[in-house]
Amino acid sequence: MRITDLMIQETMIMDLQATTKDEAIDELIASLNRSGRINDPVLFKEMIYKREAESSTGIGGGIAMPHAKTTAVNEPTVVFAKSRKGLDFEALDDQPAHVFFMIAAPEGAGNTHLRTLAALSRLLIDSDFISQLMSTDTPAEVSALFDAKQAEAAEKEVAKEKAKAEKAANAASGSTSNQQQNTSGVIVGNANSEDFVVAVTACPTGIAHTFMAEDALKKKAQEMGINIRVETNGSEGAQNVLTADEIARAKGVIVAADKNVEMARFDGKPVLQRPVSDGIRKSEELIRKAVNGDAPIYHSQGGNAKEDGANTGKISVGSKIYKDLMNGISHMLPFVVGGGILLAISFLIEQLAGEDNPLFQLLQTIGGGTGAFHFLIPVLAGFIAMSIGDRPALMPGMVGGLMAVNSNAGFLGGLAAGFLAGYVVIGLRKLFKGLPKAIDGLKPILLYPVFGLLIVGAISFYVFDPIFGSLNTWLVDALGNLGTGNAVLLGLLLGGMMSIDMGGPFNKAAYTFAIGVFTSSGNTDGAWMAAVMAGGMVPPLAIALATTFFKSKFTEQERKSGLTNYVLGFSFITEGAIPFAAADPLRVLTSCILGSAVAGGLTQLWSINVPAPHGGIFVAALANHALLFLLAVAIGSVISGLILGLWKKSPTLVK
C-alpha cells in the first residue's frame, strides 16, 4: 500500500493558521472531521491529548506527529500540514514545529495499514526529505514526493535483499562482506566490529514513535560502525524479536519504550531504560553508553534497573503517583464489576425466592464479602505497591490491604498500605545494596519478603488500625447521641458519610449505626436505613450519569465502566465508584458527598422508612413511600452527577 493511500489530498493543510499547539490540534482534527474520516471528534481529541500527556509528539527537527488509535476513526488517515512560521508544539528539542502529520488509526486497523504507517514514520528520520516537503506548494506535490520516496525505498529494499542473498552465497564459499544490510530483523553495522548491542523500541499506540526510534538507532549505529539489532513493539505486536543468543552476546541493551516490554530476558545485562523519544533524538548517546557498558545491571527478580541508578527519564511526581494508582485501579476493576453484578442479581433472586434459595446464597458467596469483594482493597494495594517497587512489593502490599479491610481502614487505608509497601521495598533495596554479591540471590526470596511484610504489617497494625478503628468507634457514638436531634440533619449526615470513603470507616460507621438501630428497634426505625441506603446509592449512579452526559470529561474506558455503575448504584453497591474516587478523590468525593447528603436528608424530610438492610432498588417497593425514596435517590444522583460533570477537568486539558 502506498503512503498516499492514507495521506489523502483533501485533508492536507498547506498553510496551517494555528499559532499554538492546541489550535494546531483543533485545525488538524477539523480537517479529519470535514472529510468524514472520524465519527467522534470529541473522543478523538481526547485520545490525542491522552497520548500527548504521556510524552510530546513534537519529536524535534521541526516535526510533530500527534496520533491516536481509537474507535472514533472510520478509516486510517494521515493529515499532512505545514506551518511556514512554525509554532511551539512542546517539541523535545524546544524548537518550533513546521511539518505536521496527524495519524488517525481505527481500533481494528489492518496489518497493511499499520505497516504503511510504520513506513511513513521511518521516512521522517530523513532531514533532507523534510526539507523537500517544506518546499512543496500543493497537495499534489506532496503526494508526488511521497510516492517517489516510497518507490526509492522499495528499490533499495530489493537491492538489500539481493545483497543479502549474495552475502549468504559468499559466506558459503568462505568469503565475507564488510557491511551487513539494514533490513528488518538483520543486524546493522560493521560485520568486523566486535561492538554489538540490542534494542527494543515501543510507544503506547505503536504506530509512529516505535518505528522512528528503530530507524534512528539503526542509522546511527551504521554511522558509528556498531552492530545493532532492534526489536519493535508496535500495533502488530513484537516484531524481529531478539533471540537469547543475541541478548547474551550484546554488550548492552537499550529499551527505548513508553510502555511495558518483556524485561526478564535481560537479567544480568547492562540495560538503559529511556523514553522512546530518546531513541529518536539521542540515539548516538544511547548506543555509545550501551557499547561501553555504561548502564545499570538489570535484575529481573530482585527489582529493576532503578536499583542501580538507572536513568529512566524525567517524570513528574504527580504523573508517577497517578501511574501507580492506575495500576492498582485497573487490576481492581474486574473484581468490582464481576462481584457487583453477581451481587445485584442475588438481590433480585432474594426478592423473588427468599434468602434460603441456593442460587441466592451461591451468588452472595461468590460476589460478596467472602468472594470477589473481599479482594478489592488487597488487589488495589498490592498492585499500587508493585507499580512502585516491582514484584517484591506485591505481597506486602496485598497483606497491608487485607489488614485495612479487617481493621475497617477501608479503601483509604488500602491506598496508604499500597504506597507504603512500594516505597518500603525501594528503601530495602537501598539498604541492602551494599551486601556481598554472593548473597544477592537471597534478596528477592528472603530479605524483601520478610522485612517488607514485617515493616508494612507493623505500620498497618500499629498506625492504620488504631487510627481508623478509633475514628469508627467515635463516629458511631457521636451518631447515637445525635439520634434525638433533628432528623433531617442526621439524615444529611448519614447520607453524606456513605460517600466519604465508600466502604471505609465513615461508610461503615453510618451503616453500622443504621443497622444497630434497625435490629434493636424493629422496622419503625427503618428511617435511618432509608438515609444510608439512599446515600450509598448516589455515588455509583452519579458516576454513571456523569460519564453518560459529560462524555468529553472521561476517557473511553471510564465511560464503559460508568455504564456498569447504573447496575451497581441501583443495587446499593457504593464500591462501584471507588475506582473513580481513587483516580480523582477531590472532585469525585466532594460531588458524591453533597448529593448523598441531600438524598439522605430528603428521606427524613419525607419520613421515609425502608424495612430492609440492603437491596437498593430491589427493596424500594417495601418502603412506606417507595416513589419518594426513588425520587430522593434521583435528586441526589443528579446533583452529584452535575457537580462532577461540570467540575471535572477534561482529559484534553491534561498536558
**Which of the residues are catalytic?**
67, 203
**Residue 583 cell numbers, joined:** 483516580
Contact 610, 508 (CB under 8 A): no
Residue with cell 428497634: 521
**In the Cβ-directed half-sphere of 436, how many Cα atoms lie within 13 Å?**
2
Q: What does the DSSP assignment read for 382-446?
A: HHHHHHHH-GGGHHHHHHHHHHHHHTT-HHHHHHHHHHHHHHHHHHHHHHTTTS-GGGTTHIIII
Question: How far apart are the C-alpha atoms of 211 and 209, rounded to whole Å?
Answer: 5
Residue with cell 543479502: 164
Dihedral over alpha carbons 542, 546, 547, 552 (to 10 degrees): -160
Q: Which residues pair with 227 in a beta bridge?
A: 196
Question: How far apart are the C-alpha atoms of 329 and 384, rounded to whole Å?
Answer: 8
Contact 578, 466 (CB under 8 A): no
Contact 28, 81 (CB under 8 A): yes
Question: How far apart are the C-alpha atoms of 460 and 417, rounded to whole Å?
Answer: 7
The residues near 583 (Cβ < 8 Å, ≥ 6 apart) are: 322, 325, 326, 329
Residue 191 burial (CB count, 10 A): 12
